[in-house]
Chain A
Amino acid sequence: MSYETVIGLEVHAQLLTATKIFCACSTRFGAAPNENSCPVCLGQPGALPVLNKKVVDYAIRAGLAIGCTIAKKSIFARKNYFYPDLPKGYQISQYELPICTGGAISITVNGEKKTIRLTRIHMEEDAGKLLHEHPTTRSKEASWVDLNRAGVPLIEIVSEPDLRSAEEAVAYLKTLRSILMYLDICDGNMEEGSLRCDANISLKPSGAEKLGTKVEIKNMNSFRHIEKAIAYEVQRQEEALQEGGKIVQETRLWNPEKEVTVPMRSKEEAHDYRYFPDPDLLPLLIEDSWVTAMHQHLPELPTAKRDRFISEHQLSPVDAETLTSSRDLANYYEACVKVYPDAKKVSNWILTELLRELNNSGRSIKQCPIKPERLAGLLQLIDQGTISGKIAKTVFLEMYKTGEPADKIVSRQGLTQVSDTGALEKMIETIIAANPKETERYRAGNEKLIAFFVGQVMKETQGKANPQLINEILRKKLKP
């Protein structure tokens, strides 16, 4: 029997607010354990939560960008369970009435467009972290609790089970990540846990209506892990079903070393979270004016930008896609085009030279040592004939190393094209005289040999000669 894979994703995105969701503590990453804490986020007796309005701003922004309906009234609920990193014994989350519902994200896989529907987006607080090794003494005799993360604001973005493969899941996640980063509400840093993902995976006989038993894989934080974990899980389930086995509804964890998923909790321990409205927080009422204000601050989103690059700049869909994959890269490109309007050339340079160097040096576009205006300046030098395209690549590398403007490097290193006709004519005469065989063959009709002579001139001038001029003189001098 053949099976169809059904995947739904729950993505937790950490919001880029300066303070936590229910108190004024900092959300800064990398502070000493429990440095960012106060009675509220430590769950001290008598402490009460106060909602950070910025978190609501960000959740609305995300909802609007994804086409969700923003609820006029949403409610914070308590999700009750015991765990040492959960200071209050409950997590404040949204349950029955979340802030955003509906919406959709369109993804492209293998050139094919597909729409993934969203169920909801809700706000919640993060839990703390357990350290099983003491941060300074390295002792492993006990476990320690670090509550810096406790109360850090998250939005949980829940998709409908519209995804059909690991590939689609990754494409969805990449698109979602880029949207959140465009909105400036999440830094998308998966290593630091700013974006984490749970996947619900089930298999059903092809064409069947009814969904199969689902398995949840929790807490994955890299595209590679997600892709591998889903692929593994799909295969595991398929093999089990083919052998006539049954899938147990359970939560599993991805083990990246062994590249397998392993069961985390069994059904017997399934939690009853006893959700109920948090009586310490009033219902969140959102007036239309709030939504309108958020709408006005919405930036151009990746899809819109990509379409504009294709239509206005005549870029290929693939190039436009890559350039809009991150907001910073798109901004960089646009800043270049502002100074140097040949979009095709700019995009070529960015997509080949610049991205290669950034990749090699492990930098992000934000850390790029070449300012956009300076890259544009380099392209202008080529157009003006000051340097050749080939020299430009050398100049580019030097710019990347030093951050200096192109013209400064060109003049310091004496890279200006040799366009002195007299000097070139003399040099070419000497080269012709020194290569009689090639001259003869050229004159006999082997025109391809022109490249050989050009190469000789370039070698002599260390590539600084104006190629057009060389061509002109060579053809004249080589005439039979």
Chain B
Amino acid sequence: MTLHSLTLHEIHEKLRKREVSSVELTQAVLKQIAKTEDKIHAFITLTEELALAQAKQADDLIQKNKGASPNNFAPLTGIPIALKDIFLMKGTRTTCGSRILSNYVAPYTATSVDNLLKDHAVIIGKLNMDEFAMGSSNETSHFGICHNPWDLKRIPGGSSGGSAAAVAAGDCFGATGTDTGGSIRLPAAFCNLVGIKPTYGRVSRYGVIAFASSLDQVGPLAKDVTDCAILLKALAGHDPRDSTSLNLPVPDYTASLTKDVRGMTIGIPKEYFVEGLDPEIEKAVRTAIDHYQKLGAKIIKVSLPHTTCAVPTYYILAPAEASSNLARYDGIRYGFRHPEARTLLELYTKSRTEGFGPEVKRRIMLGTYVLSAGYYDAYYLKAQKARTLIRNDFEEAFKQCDLLLTPVAPTAAWKIGEKTDDPLKMYLSDIFTINVNLAGLPAMSLPCGFTKGGLGESPLGEPPLPIGMQLIGNHFKEETIFRAAFAYEQANEWHQRRPAL
């Protein structure tokens, strides 16, 4: 097996045994990137030089540890990781997938990235994403579409599509993502990865460009559950610079990776298995449910009656916050400024008109509208009330069970361009993930099967596509999710499949 197809924890073992150096590893993934990037376009910026310097430092550290406690280095030390281009890293260009930040060099580093750097992870580059994280397909990036490594004609999912594509393609051993309405879980499902959106407040948002502050949450995308646990442990923690950050100790998530789910109650919300759900997806998820039963978990039916409110609620609240969060991109202090503006008003309008893409503008306008005087009560306030109802639904459900199990998306990855003309159709792809953000809960997407594939237009036929399932936990119960996910993963092999590239 080639280096780049190994998992993060497998690589850590190799580093411990001195079978490979971090520099060799970094060179290996750089080679893989060179080989695949033309096809996938997962990166916006490569930080090759920085990565090699960091790898050299990590090797020095590992060598120094040779004496007394030879294996005493963090599981991320020397391991190439990539960052969604929404994370600020000092001195590195951070674009958020937008033209308006195409020339922006971060003056400081995000807390979560600092946490990775403290563990001496190697940062290999900045990953492609939907512009300002708005999108479900990675087609709104100013820097071009990212392709799904499982089928290059298809989208990798958004908005952390670059993150998912890069990990799946072996360009790095883990990546950071952000999830506002499913932006970690959807691409994880479409690219056969494990991705977790932790409890709101678990990972600092400081230095992560805001889309919708009350919904955004940072999380990792990885090849398996163990890698995901390692990465989340590194990213998480209380940050005094983020007022919404949780002041709670971070558990050792790898310690919860036992195979045991006996005694655990898993709820199946009936509202998630309805018309529109692709039969292949439904079958895969139902098979996983049966599997949990075999493993000793108790399966019960639950109801989340306000599930259908989630999409409209989300598409009021998220744009409202976004319209305000994106006001700072005005061409005055940093980022793209239109060269031909002669008056202040022209400076604003021209810079923003040409700096933002259509999806971002659509949401800014929507958000501005729902917040404006006279409409606030009818939209924003009502949506806040609906949000409370959705939250209460989950609270009720978690009185009966430890976890909820649902599909991640109604379909597998779709073809590039298939939904771009119809924003509403696109918005519905997040139907199973959005609720979790509105409730601030932790949720994971993990592989649970593949579509059959078929004849299709291509001479080779349509390749099979990954299917993900979602495990939703109660607030702060990431450990429960990890435990259940690991138990499933240990008994299945979906996560071991790699795309043919």
Contact = CB atoms under 8 A, between A and B. Distances in A.
A82 B348 contact: yes
Nearest to B210: A46
Interface stretch (B37-45, B64-72, B324-332, B395-403): B324-332
Contact of B328 (A51, A87, A279, A281): A87
Interface string A29-64: 000000000010011111111110000000000000
A276 B372 CA distance: 10
Contacts of A214: none
A44 B243 contact: no
Nearest to A46: B207
A145 B327 CA distance: 17
Interface in B312-368: 320-321, 323-324, 326-330, 332-334, 344, 348, 368
B189 interface: no
Most buried by B among A82, A145, A272: A82
Nearest to A79: B324
Nearest to A280: B213
B74 interface: no
Interface centre among B329, B332, B371 (most CB of A within 10 A): B332
A233 to B, nearest CB: 27
B107 interface: yes
Tell me which of A39, A43, A48, A275 has the highest count of chain B C-beta atoms within 10 A of its own C-beta: A48
B450 interface: no
Given A84-B332, A276-B380, A280-B213, A51 B207 contact: no
A89 interface: yes
Interface in B380-396: 380
Interface string A73-106: 0000010101010011110000000000000000
Contacts of A39: 107-108
Given A49-B243, A50-B243, A82 B327 contact: yes
A279 B213 contact: yes
Contacts of B368: 274
Nearest to B88: A46
A272 B242 CA distance: 29
B344 A44 contact: no
A49 B243 CA distance: 7
B143 interface: no
Nearest to A143: B344
Contacts of B88: 45-46
A262 interface: no
Contacts of A80: 323-324, 327, 371
B61 interface: no
Contacts of B108: 39, 44, 47
A47 B373 contact: no
A282 interface: yes
A279 B321 contact: yes
Contacts of A275: 371, 376
Contacts of B321: 279
Contact of A42 (B323, B333, B380): B333
Given A39-B107, A80-B371, A276-B380, A45 B328 contact: yes
Interface string B196-218: 00000000011111101110000
Interface residues of A, number: 28
B243 A48 contact: yes
Contact of A89 (B206, B213, B241, B327): B327
B427 interface: no
B333 A45 contact: no
A279 B333 CA distance: 23
B372 A272 contact: yes
A47 B241 CA distance: 8
B321 to A, nearest CB: 6
B209 A45 contact: yes
Contacts of A84: 330, 332, 344
Given A44-B107, A279-B214, A279-B321, A145 B333 contact: yes
B116 to A, nearest CB: 15
A44 B373 CA distance: 28
Contacts of A50: 240-243
Contacts of B104: 45
Interface residues of B, number: 43
A46 B376 contact: no
A46 B333 CA distance: 15
A276 B376 contact: yes
Chain B binding surface, main DSSP class:
loop
A282 B201 CA distance: 12
B327 A46 contact: no
Contacts of B110: 46
Contacts of A276: 320, 324, 371, 376, 380
Contacts of B213: 279-280
Interface string B61-94: 0000000000000000000000000001000001
Q: In this complex, which of A272, A274, A280 has the most chain B Cβ atoms within 10 angstroms of its Cβ?
A: A274
B96 interface: yes
B293 interface: no
A89 B320 contact: no
Contacts of A46: 88, 110, 205-210
A452 B251 CA distance: 98
Contacts of A272: 372-373
Contact of B324 (A42, A78, A145): A78
Nearest to A282: B243
A145 B344 CA distance: 13
A84 B96 CA distance: 22
Interface string B210-248: 101110000000000000000000000000111110000
Contact of B332 (A44, A78, A145, A282): A145
B172 interface: no
Contact of A45 (B96, B240, B241, B373): B96
A47 B344 CA distance: 25
Interface string A271-289: 0101110011110000000
B488 to A, nearest CB: 34
A274 B208 CA distance: 24
B8 interface: no
A146 to B, nearest CB: 12
B380 A89 contact: no
Contacts of A43: 328, 333
B11 interface: no
A84 B333 CA distance: 9
Contacts of A274: 323-324, 368, 371-373, 376
Contacts of A279: 212-214, 244, 321
B333 A47 contact: no
B413 interface: no
A145 B207 CA distance: 23
Contacts of B206: 46-48
Contacts of A78: 324
Contacts of B326: 89
A452 to B, nearest CB: 79
B242 A48 contact: yes
A282 B200 CA distance: 13
A272 B332 CA distance: 22
A89 B327 CA distance: 5
A275 B241 CA distance: 24
B324 A281 contact: no
A89 B330 contact: yes
B371 A87 contact: no
B241 A48 contact: yes
Given A45-B329, A280-B243, 6 more contacts: A45-B210, A80-B324, A82-B330, A82-B348, A90-B324, A145-B332
28 contacts: A39-B107, A44-B334, A45-B88, A45-B96, A45-B210, A46-B110, A46-B205, A46-B210, A48-B243, A48-B244, A50-B243, A80-B324, A80-B327, A80-B371, A84-B330, A87-B333, A88-B327, A88-B328, A89-B324, A89-B330, A90-B327, A274-B324, A274-B368, A274-B371, A275-B371, A275-B376, A279-B212, A279-B321
Query: Ordered nearest first, which 10 A-B pairs have the shortest CB separation?
Result: A89-B327, A279-B214, A279-B213, A274-B371, A46-B207, A45-B209, A43-B328, A272-B373, A89-B328, A46-B209
